Amino acid sequence: MTVRIGLVGTGTVGGGCIDILQAHRADFARHYGIDVELARVCSRNPEQAESHGVADLFTGDYHDIVNDPTIDVVVELIGGTTVARDVVLSALNAGKAVVTANKALMATHGQEVMEAAERNGVEVAFEASVGGGIPIIDPLKHSLIANEITSVMGIVNGTTNYMLTRMAEDDLSYEAALKEAQAKGFAEADPSADVDGFDAAAKIAILASIAFNSRVTLDEVYTRGITNISPVDLEAAKGMGYAVKLLAIAHRTAAGIDVRVHPTMIPEDHQLAKVNGVFNAIYVVGDAVGETMFFGEGAGAGPAASAVMGDVLEVARHLAADVKPLVGCTCTDELPIMPLEELSMKYYVRFTVEDQLGVLATIARIFAEHNVSLHSVMQRGREESGSVDVVYVTHRAQERDIRAAIDEIEATEGMLLADPSLIRVEE
Amino acid sequence: MTVRIGLVGTGTVGGGCIDILQAHRADFARHYGIDVELARVCSRNPEQAESHGVADLFTGDYHDIVNDPTIDVVVELIGGTTVARDVVLSALNAGKAVVTANKALMATHGQEVMEAAERNGVEVAFEASVGGGIPIIDPLKHSLIANEITSVMGIVNGTTNYMLTRMAEDDLSYEAALKEAQAKGFAEADPSADVDGFDAAAKIAILASIAFNSRVTLDEVYTRGITNISPVDLEAAKGMGYAVKLLAIAHRTAAGIDVRVHPTMIPEDHQLAKVNGVFNAIYVVGDAVGETMFFGEGAGAGPAASAVMGDVLEVARHLAADVKPLVGCTCTDELPIMPLEELSMKYYVRFTVEDQLGVLATIARIFAEHNVSLHSVMQRGREESGSVDVVYVTHRAQERDIRAAIDEIEATEGMLLADPSLIRVEE
């Protein structure tokens, strides 16, 4: 059987998909009994189609794809939540299966997309929206379904993991690490989505929704990035036996789903602490399976296209067997989101202050007044400039208390010479 | 819809399956719309059924399960290749789906089992046969299918990984590490299947068959265990920047499938080198996805039952949707097995010899005569006893040459005081 694909978006990932189809079409026919035919490609850049030798399939108007009755599967790779949403919804409403890599769309309009698929009796697959080529959505929807999943924690943004690795291993400043990541093509000219944590937040919203069978949307994820992290923090963490990672965290708790993205200290023997450079990894704990981790390349043409084309082939298998979607929306429960303020954990806070005894006394007093008890205080570097970094590690404290304390310290005139660095500790 | 399960084998894993069903039956109904009902359990030990509160479902005769027309899925957890083969084949021939954790059966009689399933139009699933709870067979059959898989390398035996970890980190002798593993219940009284590598060999046969779409059977896997490894080797490897693991290796090469199990030195920054203790991990490289790794607990009631019950639920989904098996036998190619003798790599060899200059000269001569050129020679410990360990690391050499050299050295009267330790280097 022939399954005809319409590809919307021919950039890095779309190009990777064309490459895979051109390399392996005959293998797919032999292994899976399906002829996967690229029927049409749509983009704003005709030269991308040309450079992949598919200029004859080009259109500049995605309606030529979603309205083409001979196309079976629409692959949406343009990203964003406006045109992409139109493409996906119109394709589903036209009775076509959809494969997308769009994390923002799924984390924001996931319910609308799943309902449109359900209504039209077609499949929507989005493995590439999280973790690049790493199989994670599929295992959560299939292999691990006998478990109650209790935690999902991921290093799901390669750019920031690369930067943190360089800062930890080679003492690069935040600015130098960012510049290098941009030079290597890992970070965008405007790096905000990566360094401010929003890319990771969309991904954990998707993972939490599947893992806990309850919808989590992007706006429900507490999100802090790595912009205030300095090599001082990574070195101090190392001295305490921890690595610092931008973790996307989702825990099932009695009070609801605890879901957040922020710089996190994890013990250096934790499997996630060993994931360095641009690699991604998602750590999943289930009540039966215990600890598992899924590791791989989180971005790039090949890995993302591997996930997209894996979805395409799986959808094609179902079409070839004339099978209705077997797994639709998995959000069969409605769990509350746990307010961050109710969390309790250990915290690492670094303040850059003038080297005066009075300042340290004031900080200690404010912590004490907010019921934050300190495990350790360390002074670090910079004496020559008259300013010092003071690192506090707390005992277990309430999130509401630590934040009130930091707010008060920040509001006290003449105290801080720079934004504080706050790192939560995950044991 | 109700799907009725017949469980054959109520030991560790079977007990874990009963636990999962008892804990989550209502969750499964809510999430997947399927009532998974335990219909019958079979075992040689009625007290196991009793201790799980299912004495009323007990039978001592598996025919009561495979001949029961009301049972939809038979779960085979007794292991071995005799009775288990009968159970699996009769269940398939009776038109029932089968879920099994039986690596020996699938690595030896896989083709017969897959053909019986195909003939009867029913499904057979065996995720639990490799890597305990780690999803690996399912990702290879689904998420990663757009790739040409080039390598699969796994730490797939937790017992030996535990022993090697203890020997490397705490300098335990092989014997002490084995005794400890037995005391902790990780190793059997007769540890041969683990320490001689046959457990790992069955698993890599299964993984290679799926990854390369070409059948590999247990008898085709070159297999060496860890019985000659001593802490000296682990320390020497560490000094060279390597970790020693019992790796199950399968590479796609132009000359065929290179598949083997043996102690292996891997660079300590390789992701597999960081997998310690009883954990398992399978590292998969594909032409599009690049490097991936799947990590988790490779044994134990919970993890193995997670994989078994995941398969059961997936099969139940298909039965509930009245869907014929979507993925049958995946061996659509027939690739040759590459003869081990044709391999070329670096080798680590340790000989225990008398501390005499003549002995070292003879060894050097024999290596040279077999075209094995040496990268380094190190002498280690034991001087007090009059015997020394001499460690040789070769340049890239032919497997046939290194083996001929070692054979000649072993055959030379009065040379070796103990079996040599041979570790292959995987870069």
- Going A92 to A97 to A103 to A108, the CA torsion angle's sign is positive
- For B325, the closest chain A residue by CA position comes to A321
Contact call for A289 and B307, based on CB within 8 A: yes
For residue B414, what pLDDT band results from cuts at 50, 70 and 90?
confident
In 3D, which of B420, B406, B364, B391 has the Cα closest to residue B237?
Answer: B391
Q: Which of B96, B103, B179, B203 is catalytic?
A: B203
**Rounded to a whole number, what is the largest CA-CA distance in chain A?**
78
Contact of B332 with chain A, judged by CB distance below 8 Å, is answered with yes
Look at residue B401 and tell me if it is in a domain.
yes
For residues A277 and A394, state if they share a domain.
Answer: no
Residues 110-149 (A) with a CB less than 8 A from some CB of B: 127, 133-135, 138-139, 142-148
Look at residue B22 and tell me if it is in a domain.
yes
Domain boundary among A236, A262, A297: A297
Cβ distance A19 to A305 under 8 Å? yes
Look at residue A262 and tell me if it is in a domain.
yes
Alpha carbons B349 and A418: distance in angstroms, whole number: 57
Contact call for B139 and A144, based on CB within 8 A: no
Domain count, chain A: 3
Look at residue A87 and tell me if it is in a domain.
yes
Look at residue A201 and tell me if it is in a domain.
yes
Quick one: pLDDT at residue A357?
A: 78
Contact call for A302 and B289, based on CB within 8 A: yes
pLDDT tens-digit series, residues A61-117? 999 999 999 999 999 999 999 999 999 999 999 999 999 999 999 999 999 999 999
Helices (H), A146-293: 158-170, 174-183, 192-195, 198-211, 231-239
Q: How far is A310 from chain B (nearest CA, A)?
A: 5
Q: How far is A398 from chain B (nearest CA, A)?
A: 32
Cβ distance B312 to B36 under 8 Å? yes
For residue B234, what pLDDT band results from cuts at 50, 70 and 90?
very high
In 3D, which of A275, A273, A257, A246 has the Cα closest to residue A423?
Answer: A246
DSSP conformation letters of B32-93: HS-EEEEEEEE-S-HHHHHHTT-GGGEES-THHHHT-TT--EEEE-S-SSSHHHHHHHHHHH
Q: How far is B126 from chain A (nearest CA, A)?
A: 11
What average pLDDT does the structure give for chain B? Answer: 96
For residues B183 and B255, state if they share a domain.
Answer: yes
For residues A159 and A245, state if they share a domain.
Answer: yes
The Cβ of residue A59 has, within 10 Å, a number of other Cβ atoms equal to 17
Chain A positions in Cβ-Cβ contact with residue B139 (cut-off 8 Å): 135, 138-139, 143
Instruction: Give me the domain span that covers residue A314.
Output: 2-133+301-320
For residues B96 and B190, state if they share a domain.
Answer: no
Residues 196-225 (B) with a CB less than 8 A from some CB of A: 213
pLDDT tens-digit series, residues B266-324? 999 999 999 999 999 999 999 999 999 999 999 899 999 999 999 999 999 999 999 99
- B344-354 and A35-42 beta bridge pairing: unpaired
Look at residue A330 and tell me if it is in a domain.
no
Q: What is the ipTM of this complex?
A: 0.96
pLDDT tens-digit series, residues B53-112? 999 999 999 999 999 999 999 999 999 999 999 999 999 999 999 999 999 999 999 999
The Cβ of residue B332 has, within 10 Å, a number of other Cβ atoms equal to 12
Quick one: pLDDT at residue B356?
A: 78
Chain A contact probe: residue of B209, B306, B330, B334 with most A CBs at under 10 A: B306
Taking 3-state DSSP, the helix, strand and coil percentages for chain A, each rounded to the nearest 5, stand at 40, 25, 30
- For A317, the closest chain B residue by CA position comes to B326
Exposed, middle or buried: residue A80 (CB in 10 Å: 0-12, 13-18, 19+)? exposed
| Residue that is written with structure tokens 């003879």 in the block | B362
Chain B contact probe: residue of A38, A292, A295 with most B CBs at under 10 A: A292
Q: How far is B165 from chain A (nearest CA, A)?
A: 14
Cβ distance A79 to A102 under 8 Å? yes
pLDDT greater than 90 at residue B387: no
- Determine the number of helices (DSSP H) and then strands (DSSP E) in chain B: 14, 17
Quick one: pLDDT at residue B341?
A: 93
Cβ distance A317 to A325 under 8 Å? no
Inter-CA distances, A413 with A67, A407, A418, B159, Å: 62, 12, 12, 60
The Cβ of residue B275 has, within 10 Å, a number of other Cβ atoms equal to 25
**A264: β partners:** A245, A424
In 3D, which of A12, A303, A329, A101 has the Cα closest to residue A87?
Answer: A101
Quick one: pLDDT at residue A427?
A: 86
For residues A117 and A23, state if they share a domain.
Answer: yes
pLDDT greater than 80 at residue A381: no
For residue B191, what pLDDT band results from cuts at 50, 70 and 90?
very high
- For B322, the closest chain A residue by CA position comes to A323
Q: Provide, rounded to the nearest whole percent, the portion of chain B with pLDDT above 70.
A: 99
Look at residue B328 and tell me if it is in a domain.
no
Q: Report chain B's terminal Cα–Cα distance, integer Å.
A: 52
pLDDT greater than 90 at residue B343: yes
For residues A253 and A308, state if they share a domain.
Answer: no
For residue A188, what pLDDT band results from cuts at 50, 70 and 90?
confident
From the list A139, A310, A323, the residue facing B326 with the nearest CB is: A323
Quick one: pLDDT at residue A299?
A: 87
Cβ neighbours of residue B76 closer than 8 Å, sequence gap 6 or more:
B8, B9, B84, B87, B88, B91, B98, B99, B100, B101, B102, B105
- For A285, the closest chain B residue by CA position comes to B296
For residues B307 and B290, state if they share a domain.
Answer: no
Contact of B314 with chain A, judged by CB distance below 8 Å, is answered with yes
Alpha carbons B236 and B348: distance in angstroms, whole number: 10
For residues B101 and B223, state if they share a domain.
Answer: no
For residues A49 and A7, state if they share a domain.
Answer: yes
Quick one: pLDDT at residue B382?
A: 60
Q: Domain containing A105 — which CATH number?
A: 3.40.50.720
The tokens describing B20, both together, are: 């999962």
Domain boundary among B234, B264, B297: B297
For residues A258 and A241, state if they share a domain.
Answer: yes
For residues B31 and B163, state if they share a domain.
Answer: no
Q: Which residues of A are identified as catalytic?
A: 203
Alpha carbons B318 and A91: distance in angstroms, whole number: 26
Q: Domain containing A421 — which CATH number?
A: 3.30.70.260
Chain A positions in Cβ-Cβ contact with residue B138 (cut-off 8 Å): 138-139, 142-143
For residues B393 and B366, state if they share a domain.
Answer: yes
pLDDT tens-digit series, residues B166-183? 999 999 999 999 999 999
The tokens describing B399, both together, are: 């497997």
- For A320, the closest chain B residue by CA position comes to B326
pLDDT greater than 70 at residue B381: no
From the list B287, B296, B312, the residue facing A290 with the nearest CB is: B296
Look at residue A331 and tell me if it is in a domain.
no
For A48-52, A235-239, B185-189, which range has the lowest pLDDT when averaged over its residues?
B185-189
Contact of B277 with chain A, judged by CB distance below 8 Å, is answered with no
Contact of A321 with chain B, judged by CB distance below 8 Å, is answered with yes
From the list A23, A143, A290, the residue facing B297 with the nearest CB is: A290
- For B19, the closest chain A residue by CA position comes to A288
Query: In Å, how far from its chain's centre is CA A358?
Result: 42
pLDDT tens-digit series, residues A264-277? 999 999 999 999 99
Q: How many CB pairs under 8 A join A and B?
A: 193
From the list B146, B274, B296, the residue facing A20 with the nearest CB is: B146
Q: Domain containing B168 — which CATH number?
A: 3.30.360.10
The tokens describing B9, both together, are: 């084998």
